[in-house]
Structure 1
């Protein structure tokens, strides 16, 4: 059965955009008509079109606010024009406007990509939890990318038809590459230990914690280098933080790059000290390229690491001292890093192939449509 699938997404960059694009590519290969509604600018629109989607202009701010009413109305009109068989909403803002626009009249999959209340504090966190409890009535399924993400939703009283499908990567695209060639192409020293952080420059990803830990790392591994790969709202603040480090601070901020693979290939270690996640995509891409990772123990991190690497590959959230110790220990042992990278590639190959993700999401769509139910019957908890 060929479907008309409408993906709605805000944000338009980072891991969410890559997840949407990968789904588009797999769904188009299966013969479905796929449309992507998203704000202009960013990578998602052009990359989704390149993957075979039809692009719909949906201006929307990233954060909730007075603009939600107009954003919801615009999205409602788009849904009426397209008449999709199913709507797939990605991340908190699309989940907010999309569920208000559709209200369960069509099969609707909501994928948080990390819960909105995980990023909030105080009254905003309370309001986010109340909204998620209420809005679950308008989703055929809540698609989580890790078991912990589901557990976190259940812990605050979200009663939904949950489905867990871990994130995946294109194993052919993110294939192991020769470290020496990558370093030469980037103008990097061939022998210096290199830690790389790939991700949007923002509070969520914790690059500020990494910079805070870096001077202590250098005292233990003086030749080490750090690269922050990506752009984002905190780019200027992080650049200033790096410049304020004692000389020589040996940190490079690359800005946004069209392809992170050369940096992943050049790394001895890929590090992501996030404050919250659902299941970050960059670590999976790194492991697919046979690079070991060091992660904060946020939702999804433990599940995406090989069991034998969880003890040394996970650190407590928001803990610069633990980050310092783990970074210094790893960068002091490049041969061990290389061995862990090979094992990580095998783990990702067996558990995080994007083809498996596309197939499982397709099964979820078919179940929602064939069952003839647009929403689960769950009690409303406010």
Structure 2
């Protein structure tokens, strides 16, 4: 490997098709084997569907499962490999990762906040104490604190984050070749699509009632859920649809390699999430010119400031209001492709901007060596 190639180790839970994982793999691929080599350390120790893409981009997937000897194994690995940068994407647990990296002599230590919500475990005094320790370790060990949006940085780190010189918001981008492969085609009958893992935080259950009310005006309407099912939440949605006589109007597509073709054949993207950092699926739909109806959240407000085809609505509004907005957007139709492409090209969400921003952060380790 050339001496001038930066070696970056990304830390994630598992290489699944989630927003953080996909965006980080796309970032690694965007360097095309030049300037940066990205390896990925996964804390679950499990194989993932994105492992092959990491290897095809020239990186390695290192399995380092959590356990009694985890910190010792991580320390020894970092000492041996001498990465230029450790870039951790595991929220507050990044404090543990980066503190170990500091002890191992890694110069660049980046924590990346993808959301402001820690929702994987029940709230308790012990849990709060653990998160407090992790935050203190971040203050001690992180050279840079990144977030996918201002709302995520505000919630995850501090309302006064701008006073911390380590804090920066970096919007992720969409590789242009992905957009170029897709042509928007209005469906023969109206289709609402939602793209997200099927779980309570994404709030797809709310859409069953909205769908029922939309059918009064659009009797041929179908709802498609694209994403892997988590736990029994998909079953709960199926049961709710069956109770309302809508079972044949709700289609579970499952996990797909690329959701863009599914979006391109839809009338409306809908996002009723309880929380999002910066919703990648909504950004992708905006880039295609597909109308988007999203819950009023900090991340969706940031997108709406740049894309006129994204409408936001409070989750406090009832299903009738959501249905009225959905029907209006479906009838308005998609933006002309040239307009959508021009809008996206002038936005801060391009892949080239994200790539160069990350490289500027990572390469400072060489400048200060």
What TM-score, normalized by structure 1, do the two folds share? 0.82
Q: 1:338 aligns with which of 306, 313, 334?
A: 334
Structure 1 residue 103 displacement after superposition: 4.1
What does 1:54-93 align with in structure 2 at a 5 Å threshold?
A: 54-60=60-66, 67=67, 69-92=68-91
Select 1:10's aligned residue among 8, 13, 16.
13
User: Is residue 10–residue 39 contact of structure 2 (8 Å, CA) maintained in 1?
Assistant: yes
Aligned to 2:364: 367
Residue of structure 2 aligned with 1:44, choices 46, 50, 53: 50
- Match of 1:313, SS? strand
Corresponding residue for residue 313 of structure 1: 311
Moved more, 361-370 or 122-131: 122-131
Distance 1:135 1:9 in 2: 18
The alpha-carbon deviation at position 211 of structure 1 amounts to 2.4
Structure with the higher helix share, 1 or 2? 1
Stretches of structure 1 that go unaligned for 5 or more consecutive residues are: 61-66, 184-189, 373-382
Partner of 2:196: 199
Structure 2, unaligned stretches of length 5 or more? none
Going from structure 1 to structure 2, the CA distance change for 1:244 and 1:102 (only over 3 Å counts) comes to farther
Per the alignment, do residues 280 and 74 of structure 1 end up closer, same or farther by CA in structure 2, a change over 3 Å counting?
farther
Larger mean CA deviation between 85-94 and 96-105 belongs to: 96-105
Once the two structures are superposed, what CA deviation does each residue of 1:200-251 show, in whole Å capped at 9, x if it has no partner?
1122222122224221222232221110001031334333333333246511
Deviation at 1:28, TM superposition (A): 4.3
Task: Determine which structure has greater relative contact order: mean sequence separation of CA pairs < 8 Å that are 6+ residues apart, divided by chain length.
Answer: 1
Give the SS at the match of 2:114. Answer: coil
Q: Is 1:23 aligned with 2:27?
A: yes
Contact 1:12–1:41 (CA under 8 A) maintained in structure 2: yes
8 Å CA contact 1:306–1:347 kept in 2: the answer is no
Contact 1:169 1:354 in 2 (8 A): yes
Do the aligned residues in 2 keep the contact of 1:175 with 1:289 (CA within 8 Å)?
A: no
Once the two structures are superposed, what CA deviation does each residue of 1:279-329 show, in whole Å capped at 9, x if it has no partner? 11111222222322221122321112355637x611124655343332232
1:150 aligned partner: 153
Contact 1:6 1:86 in 2 (8 A): yes
- Measured in 1, the distance between the counterparts of 2:207 and 2:96 equals 34
**Structure 2 vs 1, CA of residues 23 and 193 (structure 1 numbering), >3 Å: closer, same or farther?**
same
- Classify 1:28/1:307 alpha carbon distance in 2 versus 1 (closer, same or farther; 3 Å): closer
Once the two structures are TM-superposed, the CA of residue 96 in structure 1 deviates from its matched residue by 4.9
Q: Does structure 2 conserve the Cα–Cα contact (< 8 Å) formed by 1:192 and 1:224?
A: yes
Name 2:111's counterpart in structure 1: 110
- Name the CA shift for 1:256/1:342 in 2 (closer, same or farther; >3 Å): same
Question: In structure 2, do the counterparts of structure 1 residues 132 and 208 end up closer, same or farther at CA, with 3 Å as the change threshold?
Answer: farther
Shift of 1:122: 4.5
- Of residues 347-356 and 93-102 in structure 1, the stretch that sits farther from structure 2 once superposed is 93-102
Secondary structure at the residue paired with 1:300? helix
Q: Secondary structure at the match of 2:177?
A: coil
How many residues align structurally? Answer: 353
CA distance in 2, matches of 1:170, 1:216: 37
1:177 aligns to 2:182 (yes or no) = yes
